[in-house]
Chain A
Amino acid sequence: MMKCKIQILLAVIMFISGYNINAQDDLLGELSKDDEVYPVKATFKGTRLINGHTIETRGAGNLDFVIMHRFGRLNSGIDEFFGLDQAVIRLALDYAISDDVSIGIGRSSSPKYLDGYIKYSFLKQTPDQFPFSATVISSAALDINIREQQPPVEDRMSYATGVLIARKFNSAFSLQIAPYWLHRNVVEYNEENEAFALNLATRVKITKRMAITAEYFARLNDSAFPDNTNNAFGIGWELETGGHVFQLIFTNNLGMVENTIIPGTVNDFFSGDIHFGFNISRAFNLKRNKDEKSW
């Protein structure tokens, strides 16, 4: 009799569990079988972090108007209004030819530079499939400061190439590491034409729309530059408001093109030679999303 009861109990359990498989959640379970995996987006918020680039490119047809502004040194005293009397700016337009390729053109003041770049995002981080994203950037800059005896154009050119590798560890924390190679056609007698640097950059989100950022350019062949120059360092506060990204930054560097960022940092951040500045980017959509139909 005992055995019989157990058997009935087992049968009931079987029935219930058999029934359960066919109940509520079952249908949803059948749908989740072949889920698509989407690449990680928004590793960084802007296409630039502080002075340097991030792995980000914009969606096809996106035109970004970028204003980069740096004030003088904070420790320049009240006479200079703590640096606010001075201003160095770079105005730029970045256009996304496709979702993965962007081009840009920019003009900086003091020192005057005209620069252009092409950026190609060729690897995408994908959950459980690929651990990082990578972008290559290649830029050229022309020194257009007016001199008495203006050297020919080719003597005023510099070129930079960087391979940017980044990983978004979670929704709040992203890290980028990027080797850079800078070539300058003509340099001062005590410098070298080739400069190698390692860019380290990070973003830590503190709220949904705010983040703390930091960036460091470590020069690998430091001896190729004059003794009074330093590695570029900056920390920033990023605010995103839909269409705009505001980045308030503190850096020891006035450079906004690679040739002034990597070898051209005169100030020492930790002695208080800090420049306050900001980047603002405003996005315009010149092309409607290709997936959009008549809906």
Chain B
Amino acid sequence: MKWIYIITLLTSISVSSQAQKYVERDGEVHFYSKAPVEDIEAHSEKGQSIVDVGSNRIAFEVPIKSFQFEKDLMQEHFNENYMESDKYPKATFSGTFSGFDINASGKQNVKASGEIFIHGVREKWNAEGKMRVENGKIYLETTFFVLLETFDIEKPKVLFYNIADKIEVNLNFVYDEM
């Protein structure tokens, strides 16, 4: 019966050694809210992500408090009132992707599907992006839209500025081999 153990052990080792993982620890994430009164944008360089080229899995994470706004008070409101970042410190995505070949050259259109987690709300999520390989690094860029109401992000009625219902999010990640 020992062989079962050995096979099991070998299988789990081979699963992890097959995994070719690439990681990005300071990825750029920014978002825009285009509204009549004032455009609001914020930027973080603390996006993290891992892609596993072996199993086509991908994971993202960005700390909500890492977003920098042009106006200090907006940043405070964003954390305190909209995102409740003490309670929900991160936004994450994890899922699988398709359409990427590590050996191909040029930009490749990829699709990802999985679960996104923002402001305590978990949602099935599909997104499209572009990936390319250069000097052993994987470049990823993607843009998607987030509706505030999907993630229970409340828009106050009495405000001296407006925010849009739909937020545009851009990611720009460069992965190194792990």
Measured CB to CB, the residues of A under 8 A from B are 3-4, 7-8, 11, 14-15, 18-19, 21-22, 24-25, 27-28, 30-32, 35-36, 38, 41-42, 58-60, 62, 170-171, 208-209, 240-244, 283, 285, 288-289, 291-293, 295
Would you list the 6 A-B pairs with minimal beta carbon distance, nearest first? A59-B72, A27-B59, A18-B12, A38-B65, A11-B4, A291-B68
Residues of B within 8 A of A289 (CB): 68-72
Pair A42/B15 contact, Cβ less than 8 Å: no
Pair B66/A36 contact, Cβ less than 8 Å: yes
Pair B12/A19 contact, Cβ less than 8 Å: yes
In the complex the two chains form, what is the Cα distance from A59 to B63 in whole Å? 20
Encode B81-116 as 1/0 by CB contact (under 8 A) with A: 100101100001010000000000000000000000
In the complex the two chains form, what is the Cα distance from A244 to B41 in whole Å? 20
Residues of B within 8 A of A7 (CB): 1, 4-5
Pair A18/B94 contact, Cβ less than 8 Å: no
In the complex the two chains form, what is the Cα distance from A30 to B25 in whole Å? 11
Which B41-94 residues sit within 8 Å CB-CB of chain A? Answer: 41, 43, 46, 48-50, 52, 55, 57-61, 63, 65-66, 68-77, 79-81, 84, 86-87, 92, 94
Residues of A within 8 A of B84 (CB): 171
- With A19-B15, A171-B86 as known contacts, state yes or no: A8 contacts B73, CB within 8 Å: no
- With A8-B1, A62-B72, A285-B72 as known contacts, state yes or no: A31 contacts B48, CB within 8 Å: yes
Pair B5/A11 contact, Cβ less than 8 Å: yes
In the complex the two chains form, what is the Cα distance from A285 to B25 in whole Å? 31
In the complex the two chains form, what is the Cα distance from A31 to B70 in whole Å? 28
Pair A22/B15 contact, Cβ less than 8 Å: yes
30 interchain pairs (CB within 8 A)?
A7-B5, A14-B9, A14-B12, A18-B8, A19-B15, A22-B12, A22-B16, A22-B19, A27-B58, A28-B92, A31-B48, A36-B46, A36-B63, A38-B66, A41-B80, A42-B76, A58-B72, A59-B75, A62-B72, A62-B73, A171-B86, A208-B80, A209-B81, A241-B156, A242-B73, A242-B160, A242-B161, A243-B160, A244-B160, A292-B70
Pair B8/A285 contact, Cβ less than 8 Å: no
* B86, chain A: closest CB distance, angstroms: 5
**Which residue of chain A has its CB nearest to the CB of B72?**
A59
Pair A31/B59 contact, Cβ less than 8 Å: yes
Does chain A have a CB within 8 A of B20?
no
**Which residue of chain B has its CB nearest to the CB of A8?**
B4
Does chain A have a CB within 8 A of B177?
no
Pair B70/A288 contact, Cβ less than 8 Å: yes
Residues of B within 8 A of A35 (CB): 63
In the complex the two chains form, what is the Cα distance from A4 to B76 in whole Å? 62
* B159, chain A: closest CB distance, angstroms: 5
Does chain A have a CB within 8 A of B154?
yes
Residues of A within 8 A of B15 (CB): 18-19, 22
Pair B1/A4 contact, Cβ less than 8 Å: yes
Pair A28/B61 contact, Cβ less than 8 Å: yes
Pair B94/A28 contact, Cβ less than 8 Å: yes
